[in-house]
Homo-oligomer: A and B are copies of this chain.
């Protein structure tokens, strides 16, 4: 038996108990006649004491030699501490050690195992097993576990059944972003790893499972960006005999439960916003509504004057920056530089200061008088002391630019507090979006999403205007979940593939199995998938996704420590060539 107690549980009530503890040496302080050692495990830290008077010389010597991160087992008596540490749960006691066993030595760790470590990110990733010993990382992993347990228990109690779907699935012709897996038993053929279990969960609905969920890994062979992993985890859900309202209520309930159980925050009803309104008011389909600064469209009040830039623009739109009138001219110039950076892409920015005395001072006073500027303030909701920032140009582009500015300013103003949670449903997404590269429409969500009732016919004439039974759950400016009511009959699904540019043969080859299934009594159904990685990161306080993954990959798709992927050797290459049916 390696321990009778863990390093976090001994209290004053244990004094005089004989105990056995095991753990890592956090640090030791050697005063010559007395040595204190902090012993750490997952559960906490306990102080050990060795002293000249009570410890045999031989053990004193071994205690002196204990290095950081040595693994030791001690037996001893719990005694009262002379100087108590009220900041430590075990701070009332210490262990007078009677037996000391070194279970394993440790080389000097390459960075300190402290909450604030001196190790850089790459080093910590390379020695991830040491990084995990640090409280913040360990607590993140425990937090993730807690979130998934809460999700599973909540959904199970609500009648959802977790069903495992396959990881080795059929590769589809459109699957350029699929990871493919050569099959040894079927030379020249390939499995694909799923980007999501979408079609399988729909088949489960056809199969009458009624309420399905799964916490499941998904895979995308895309170029990596910061905070996007080639393998990611989804809370995947689907329900039958439901309409959109049922879905929103169910998963709002789940999210409310998580906010309460995991963050201790109670919410009543989540606000809802149409996609069109989100774009109009925030220039963004996942608006952060922890703060205001909604857009004010200024075309009516700022066009048809002498200012050619605004007159030529499709959209003139502004936001009020609270207290922004305090910015110096230099600060505003810097802000203009910021919006002109290539990442944002605005050509310039017009501003109007809202002075405390009710007057205005703008960068375009030549074209706009005080009445005009008062209207700008009114439309953007600016008050005395604020600054109105105005962008203009192509509507889509200028909305994206102003959204970026809004987020940046909110960040600077401290309005994006990770401890404040602002959930929001965004609804009625467009069914299709125009893809510049392929010059055709693509399904914005996926091709199984149903159009709003009565809009199917509109697909022929105005495909870009068709709205979908699709919704996203947004939390603090991040999409944490998204879903839709699905098509559940073969005719509509075939029509959808046709509108998306599939030939009937392509549609049949790729999704025939699903359309076949729809002919055998498919119930109305729909669902939602949460991105678990992001959900956990946001609930856990806005750190990056990687902080909550035990073994994340870097931007090259490599586990730094284990250095995957690896080249394969000749024997494997031969085997693989057989699998691939290729001559190498």
* Interface set of A (CB-CB < 8 Å, partner B): 1-3, 22, 24, 40-43, 69-71, 73, 103-107, 109, 127-133, 138, 141-142, 144-145, 148-149, 152-153, 156, 161-173, 175-176, 179-186, 188-193, 199-200, 203-204, 206-211, 217, 219, 221, 223-224, 230-231, 233, 241-243, 245-246, 488-489, 513, 517-524, 549-551, 553, 556-559, 561-569, 571-572, 575-577, 580, 582, 584
Alpha-carbon distance A380/B376, docked complex (angstroms):
101
Q: Take A24-B208, A210-B41, A572-B180 as given contacts and tell me if A203 and B129 are in contact as well, using a CB distance cutoff of 8 Å.
A: yes
Q: Which of B107, B193, B224, B521 is within 8 Å of A105, CB to CB?
A: B521
Which single member of B105, B171, B520, B569 contacts A564 (CB below 8 Å)? B171
B163 engages A1 (CB within 8 Å):
no
Apart from A104-B518, A145-B163, A582-B584, what 11 extra A-B contacts exist at CB < 8 Å? A71-B522, A71-B523, A128-B207, A129-B203, A130-B520, A149-B152, A166-B559, A168-B230, A185-B556, A185-B557, A189-B568
**C-alpha spacing A204/B246, complex, angstroms:** 41
**Chain B residues, CB < 8 A from A210:** 41-43
What residues of chain B lie closer than 8 Å to A242, measured between beta carbons?
Answer: 2
Question: Which of chain B's residues has its CB closest to A177's CB?
Answer: B184
CB of A276, distance to nearest CB on chain B (Å): 26
**14 residue pairs bridging A and B, Cβ less than 8 Å apart:** A1-B243, A2-B246, A40-B208, A106-B519, A145-B156, A149-B153, A169-B559, A170-B566, A173-B568, A180-B182, A180-B572, A186-B556, A513-B563, A582-B584
In the complex, are the beta carbons of B164 and A233 less than 8 A apart? yes
Question: In the assembled complex, how far is the CB of residue A36 from the closest CB belonging to chain B, in whole angstroms?
Answer: 19
Bound together, the chains give a CA A384 to CA B401 distance in angstroms of 94
Residues on the B chain within 8 Å of A109, using CB: 520
- Pair B41/A1 contact, Cβ less than 8 Å: no
Tell whether A208 pairs with B133 under 8 Å between CB atoms, given A168-B231, A219-B167, A564-B168: yes
Chain B residue, CB-CB nearest to A109: B520
Complex formed: what's the CA distance from A562 to B560 in Å? 36
Residue ID in chain B nearest A132 by CB atoms: B207
Separation of A231 and B181 alpha carbons in the complex (Å): 13
A406 to B: closest C-beta gap in Å: 34
Residue of B at shortest CB range from A551? B166
Q: In the bound complex, what is the Cα–Cα distance between A383 and B48 (angstroms)?
A: 65
Q: Which residue of B lies closest to A156 (CB)?
A: B149
Closest to A22 in B: B241
- Determine if A571 and B176 form an interchain contact, defined as CB atoms under 8 angstroms apart: yes
Which residue of B is nearest A509, CB measured?
B566
- In the bound assembly, the distance between CA atoms of A335 and B161 in angstroms comes to 46
Partner of A164, one of B149, B211, B217: B217
Q: A519 to B108, alpha carbons, bound, how many Å?
A: 9
Contact B521 A188 (CB under 8 A): no
- List of B residues within 8 angstroms of A561 by Cβ: 203, 513
Kindly name the residue among A246, A563, A580 whose own CB sees the greatest number of chain B CB atoms within 10 A. Answer: A580
* B161 adjacent to A145 (CB under 8 Å): yes
Give 3 closest A-B pairs by Cβ, nearest first. A132-B207, A106-B521, A170-B564
In the complex, the answer to whether A200 meets B153 with C-beta atoms within 8 Å is: no
Once the chains bind, are A127 and B163 in contact (CB under 8 Å)? Answer: no
State whether A569 touches B41 (Cβ < 8 A): no
A219 to B169 alpha-carbon distance, docked (Å): 13
Shortest Cβ distance from A206 into chain B, in angstroms?
4
A224 x B185 contact (CB < 8 A): yes
Docked-complex contact A142 and B170, CB < 8 angstroms: no
* Chain B residues closer than 8 Å to A188, beta-carbon distance: 567
Q: Is the CB–CB distance between B557 and A186 below 8 Å?
A: yes
Contacting pair B513 A562 (CB below 8 A):
yes
User: What B residues does A107 contact at CB under 8 A?
Assistant: 519-520
Contact among B132, B167, B206, B565 with A190 in the assembled complex (CB-CB below 8 Å): B565
Chain B residues in 8 Å Cβ range of A42 = 208-211
B24 x A185 contact (CB < 8 A)? no
